[in-house]
Amino acid sequence: MRIISGKYKGRKLEGHQIDGTRPTQDRVKESMFSMIQEHLKDAIVLDLFAGSANLGIEALSNGAKYCYFVDHSPQAIQVIRKNLEFVDKNTYSVSCMDYQKALKQFAFDHKSFDLVFLDPPYQDKTLPEILTFLVEKQLLKDHALVVCELEHDTLDEEYTSLQLKKAKKYGYKQVKIYQLELESKEET
C-alpha cells in the first residue's frame, strides 16, 4: 500500500496486518481520487473508519487542508500514527473512539466537512444511519462529498439533501459518492 499521487507520492503505508480492515487497493483508490480530485484543494476531510489512514493521507497529499482520522481500534491508531510520521502535524488529528461518539462530538463542536470517507467493516450496516446523521446534524458543508465503500448495495439514491452522484463497482467492492445539495431550486 502506498500514496499514489500528490506531494507524498510513493510513500509506503503500513496497515495490511490490522485485524478487521481491508485497505483500499491502489487501483480502486486511483479511480476514486480521479472522481473527487476537484474537491480536494483546501478541503476539510473526515476519515471516519480510518484503518491505516490510507484515504485521508491521500487526500492530504493532494491538497486537502486538514483531516480528522477516527478509528475505534487501538491497533489501527498505532498504525495511523506511524503512517502519519512524514505528514505535517498541523494538518491532522487522530482520535481513538467509536464512530457514533466521534460524530456526536463533531456535531457538538459545530464541525463541518468538505469531504467524508466512510469505509466501515463490510458486515456493518450503519452507512444509511451515518449518511442521515451527517445531514441532520449539519456536519457537511454545501456541496460536500461523502465517499462510501461497501460490499452489498444497501444504499439509496439519496438521503435528504445528499444525492448519489457517482457509483462504480470494483469486483465485490462498490464505491458510491454522494454530494450535499442545500441550495434551494427555484421553480419555473
- CATH number of the domain that residue 102 is part of: 3.40.50.150
Grid cell 484503518 in the structure block, residue = 51
Residue 20 vs residues 14, 28, 78, 91, 123: alpha-carbon distances, Å:
14, 19, 15, 27, 10
Residue reference for cell 491521500? 58
pLDDT in tens, the chain (188 residues): 899 999 999 999 987 666 655 667 778 889 999 999 999 999 999 999 999 999 999 999 999 999 999 999 999 999 999 999 999 999 999 999 999 999 999 999 999 999 999 998 867 788 999 999 999 999 999 999 999 998 877 788 888 889 999 999 988 888 999 999 876 444 33
Domain containing residue 69: 31-122+133-180
pTM value is 0.92
Whether residue 186 lies inside any domain: the answer is no
Within a domain: 10 = no
Total domain count, the chain: 1
**Domain assignment present for 85:** yes
Q: Give a yes or no: residue 128 inside a domain.
A: no
All three cell numbers of 15, joined, read 496497515
The torsion angles phi and psi of 156, rounded to 5 degrees, stand at: -80, 175
Q: How far apart are CA 56 and CA 166, in angstroms?
A: 20
In this structure, is residue 22 part of a structural domain?
Answer: no
